[in-house]
Structure 1
Amino acid sequence: MTAPDTTGPVSVLLVDDDPMVRRGLRLVLGGDPGLTIVGEAGDGAEGMAQIQRLDPDVVLLDIRMPVLDGLAVLARLRDRGRPGPRVVVLTTFHTDDDVLAALADGAAGFLLKDADPLEMIAAVKAVHRGDPALSPAVATTVIAAAAGRRRVDPEVARAAAALTGREREAAVLMARGLSNAEIGTRMHLSLATVKANLTRVFAKLAVDNRVSAAMAVRDAGLLDEV
């Protein structure tokens, strides 16, 4: 993912096949001085073209669209092999499979379209900072999946074996939902040191956001260690 640019407003691309939804999102997000809507797209193929042309910081992406759906867009972004925007998946409903597939493919957030406007604004800003953004219903799905899946993925476990002791501890605390500041307090580390540790965790686990990292920590069997 591209490094956050804190010198100006967060640039946002809206990708949804419903013009009314795009209009509503533009009204909600465009009213915040910290955000700027740089473009819109009505399907996934157009969305990919706009991403390449506009290079937005954050994409709000519908999961159900014609031509190319949201999951396919996420897969293409993942397979490009170069940094891209942070993606918040936006939908009118969710199923467990959709949520977990989207997060596994690199989505940084997952919101229902009936989310409160302030929640949407906060979500865009959160993912731009590198934090996850999940609606309460979606968070419940992720927690249930983590609790229900105890089998260790050998490939992820091998990657996790390269983590140092401090990196492992920081990774587990992050996976349990602690913020960087809370991790620093727990581990008696500065905020800069926590960020440095998590940057190395992301690199070693081959992930690019906190949600994917948390899922990798779970799959590596580390959640019971700290």
Structure 2
Amino acid sequence: MIRTALADDQPLMRGGVAMALESQPDIEVVWQADDGAQAIEANSRNPVDVIVMDVRMPVMDGIAATQRICESADSATRVLVLTTFDLDEHAFDALQAGASGFLLKDAPAEELIAAVRHVAAGDAVLAPTTTARLIQHFARPPDRRAPVDELDELSEREREITRLIARGLTNPEIAADLFLSEATVKTHVRSILRKLRARDRVQIVITAYEAGLV
């Protein structure tokens, strides 16, 4: 079972999300929270696999809560951020804080369910029309980008795969594009995650944009 939790200050929104998730045989909603502070406290007492986190909440917003949860050394919990707008700078801040992706609140139920499963499996929700555009829009201009020393450790093939990840391609799509086996691509992705000290694919994308690789 995928243990999930919800953090949103709108009871109707929480109820709808909970209903969609609990309709699946492999997903259960363990707890719900009205704000980020409640989410941190609840997760410390009863850790879950995935928290579906709203960005804008009273007391403590989703950005601060995401950072606290993802920075915890003993936490394996991943965060899926919900936002109203696909160009919301607050959602970008949440990705930088360690969230494993973000989804629009008006996304279909099946898309939300798939996103929770992807995040629980260690993947990231990187829709090319949303996440990549958001990162591209809010990334620092080229003349202000900070150097990222870890990129120097990447081989040319790993840089090539990093660029494709930043474009939103999945492992099978990268394999087809580069005429490699999917197993080979997975090996390269693991190496990229290790060298960039990245938690998941979202952080690979952020690093690629900030360093000017894309």
Output the TM-score relative to the length of structure 1.
Answer: 0.83
1:37 equivalent to 2:32? Answer: no
Matched ranges for 1:1-226 at <5 A? 9-93=1-85, 96-129=88-121, 130-134=123-127, 136-137=129-130, 139-145=132-138, 149-151=141-143, 153-156=145-148, 158-223=149-214
5+ residue gaps, structure 2, are none
- Aligned residues: percent identity? 37
User: Amino acid of the residue matched to residue 51 of structure 1?
Assistant: N
- Cα RMSD over matched residues? 2.3
**Partner-residue secondary structure (3-state), 1:90:** strand
Please give the per-residue CA displacement for 1:156-204, whole angstroms capped at 9, x wherever unaligned: 1x11001122221211111111110111222333222212211221122
- Paired with 2:202 and 2:52, the residues of 1 have a C-alpha distance of 16
Change (3 A) 1:134 1:50: farther
- Paired with 2:13 and 2:133, the residues of 1 have a C-alpha distance of 25
**Partner-residue secondary structure (3-state), 2:194:** helix
- Paired with 1:143 and 1:94, the residues of 2 have a C-alpha distance of 12
Change (3 A) 1:23 1:81: same
- Paired with 2:64 and 2:129, the residues of 1 have a C-alpha distance of 25
Which residue in 2 is equivalent to 1:5?
none
Deviation of 1:78 after TM superposition, in Å, equals 3.4
Change (3 A) 1:31 1:169: same
Change (3 A) 1:134 1:181: closer
Whether the aligned pair in 2 keeps the contact of 1:58 and 1:128 (CA below 8 Å) is yes
Which residue in 2 is equivalent to 1:3?
none
5+ residue gaps, structure 1, are 1-8
Whether the aligned pair in 2 keeps the contact of 1:151 and 1:221 (CA below 8 Å) is no
Please give the per-residue CA displacement for 1:105-163, whole angstroms capped at 9, x wherever unaligned: 121222222222122112212222313245955554334345x733463441x110011
Output the TM-score relative to the length of structure 2.
Answer: 0.87
Moved more, 60-69 or 129-138: 129-138
Please give the per-residue CA displacement for 1:47-100, whole angstroms capped at 9, x wherever unaligned: 112222332111101112222110111121233244532211113346532122
User: Amino acid of the residue matched to residue 36 of structure 1?
Assistant: E
Number of matched pairs:
213
**Partner-residue secondary structure (3-state), 1:65:** coil
Change (3 A) 1:133 1:178: closer
User: Amino acid of the residue matched to residue 45 of structure 1?
Assistant: A
Moved more, 126-135 or 11-20: 126-135
User: Amino acid of the residue matched to residue 142 of structure 1?
Assistant: I
- Paired with 2:213 and 2:128, the residues of 1 have a C-alpha distance of 25
